[in-house]
Amino acid sequence: MLRNKAIIAGAADSDIGKLPEMSGLALNAQAAKRALDDAGMTLADVDGLLTAYSLTEPYFMLGTVLAEHLGIAPRYCASLVVGGGTPGAALHHAAMAVATGQAEVVLVTAGENRATGQSRDAAVQALTQVGHPYFETPYGPLVPAFYAMVARRYMHEYGTTREEMAHVAVRARDHAVRHPASPMTDRLDVETVLASKPIAEPLSMLDCCLISDAAGAFVVTTPDRAADLFHPPAWLWGIGESHTHEHITLAPSLTETGALRSGRDAYAMAGITPADVDFAELYDCFTIVPIIEAEELGLAERGAGGELFASGETAIEGRLPVNTHGGLLSYAQAGASGGLHGIVEAVRQLRGAQGERQVENHDIALVHNEGGVLSSHCTMVLGREKR
Amino acid sequence: MEPWPDIPGPDVNADAAPYWAAAAEGRLVIQKCADCGTFRFYPRHLCPGCGGDAAAWTEVSGRGAVHSFTVVHRAPTPAFRALAPYVIALIDLDEGPRMMANLLGADALETAIGDPVGVVFQERAGGVRVPQFVRRSG
A140/B86 touch (CB, cutoff 8 Å), yes or no: yes
Does B99 contact A at CB distance below 8 Å?
yes
Residue A4: in which H helix or E strand, if any? none
pLDDT in tens, B28-57: 999 999 999 999 999 999 999 999 999 999
A254/B88 touch (CB, cutoff 8 Å), yes or no: no
B25 in a structural domain: yes
B57 in a structural domain: yes
B3 in a structural domain: no
The DSSP code sequence of A121-178 is HHHHHHTTTTS-TTTTGGG---HHHHHHHHHHHHHHHH---HHHHHHHHHHHHHHHTT
Does B65 contact A at CB distance below 8 Å?
no
pLDDT in tens, B95-115: 999 999 999 999 999 999 999
| Average pLDDT of the residues in B68-95 | 97
Spell out which residues of chain A touch residue B113, defining contact as CB-CB under 8 Å: 152-153, 156
Contacts of B26 (CB under 8 A, 6+ apart): B121, B129
B68/A153 touch (CB, cutoff 8 Å), yes or no: yes
Closest CA–CA distance from residue B74 to any residue of chain A (Å):
5
| Average pLDDT of the residues in A167-172 | 98
Does B111 contact A at CB distance below 8 Å?
no
Would the pLDDT of A119 be above 80?
Answer: no
B5 in a structural domain: no
Does B100 contact A at CB distance below 8 Å?
yes
Spell out which residues of chain A touch residue B65, defining contact as CB-CB under 8 Å: none
Please give the residue of chain A at the shortest CA–CA distance from B129.
A138
Which domain does B104 fall in, by range? 14-135
B84 in a structural domain: yes
Q: How many CB atoms lie within 10 A of CB B107?
A: 12
pLDDT in tens, A298-337: 999 999 999 999 999 999 999 999 999 999 999 999 999 9
Look at residue A329 and give its three-state secondary structure: helix
User: Measured between alpha carbons, how far is B128 from B23 in angstroms, rounded to an integer?
Assistant: 9
Closest CA–CA distance from residue B130 to any residue of chain A (Å):
9
ipTM strictly over 0.95? yes
Minimum-distance CB partner of B72 among A127, A132, A200? A200
Closest CA–CA distance from residue B93 to any residue of chain A (Å):
12
B74/A148 touch (CB, cutoff 8 Å), yes or no: no
pLDDT of A120: 65
How many beta-carbon pairs below 8 A join chains A and B?
Answer: 99
B106 in a structural domain: yes
Would the pLDDT of A158 be above 80?
Answer: yes
pLDDT of B137: 78
User: Measured between alpha carbons, how far is A204 from A230 in angstroms, rounded to an integer?
Assistant: 43
Confidence of residue A123 (pLDDT cuts 50, 70, 90): low
Enumerate domains of chain A plus CATH numbers: 7-118+211-228 (3.40.47.10), 138-209+238-383 (3.40.47.10)
Q: Judging by beta carbons within 10 Å of its beta carbon (0-12, 13-18, 19+), is residue B137 exposed, middle or buried?
A: exposed
pLDDT of A181: 97
Query: What single-letter DSSP state applies at residue A228?
Result: G
Please give the residue of chain A at the shortest CA–CA distance from B90.
A249
Confidence of residue A121 (pLDDT cuts 50, 70, 90): low
pLDDT of A127: 65
Does A352 contact B at CB distance below 8 Å?
no
pLDDT of B3: 95
Residue A114: in which H helix or E strand, if any? none
Confidence of residue B4 (pLDDT cuts 50, 70, 90): very high
Spell out which residues of chain A touch residue B75, defining contact as CB-CB under 8 Å: 140, 142
Confidence of residue A129 (pLDDT cuts 50, 70, 90): confident
Q: Distance of alpha carbon A139 from its chain centroid, rounded?
A: 29
pLDDT in tens, A246-303: 999 999 999 999 999 999 999 999 999 999 999 999 999 999 999 999 999 999 999 9
Would the pLDDT of A140 be above 60?
Answer: yes
Would the pLDDT of B138 be above 60?
Answer: no
Spell out which residues of chain B touch residue A249, defining contact as CB-CB under 8 Å: 41-42, 90, 98-100
B113/A249 touch (CB, cutoff 8 Å), yes or no: no
Confidence of residue B59 (pLDDT cuts 50, 70, 90): very high
pLDDT of A280: 98
Which residue in A128, A241, A5 sits closest to B88, CA to CA?
A128
Global pTM reads: 0.97
| Average pLDDT of the residues in A174-203 | 97
Would the pLDDT of B93 be above 60?
Answer: yes
What is the average pLDDT value for chain B, to the nearest integer? 96
pLDDT in tens, A68-96: 999 999 999 999 999 999 999 999 999 99
Structurally, chain B folds into a number of domains equal to: 1
SS3 sequence of A275-290: HHCCEEECCCCECHHH
pLDDT in tens, A49-59: 999 999 888 89
Mutation choice for A interface testing from B6, B19, B42, B74 by most A CBs within 10 A: B74
CATH number at residue B65: 2.40.50.840
Q: Are strands A105-113 and B116-123 parallel, antiparallel or unpaired?
A: unpaired
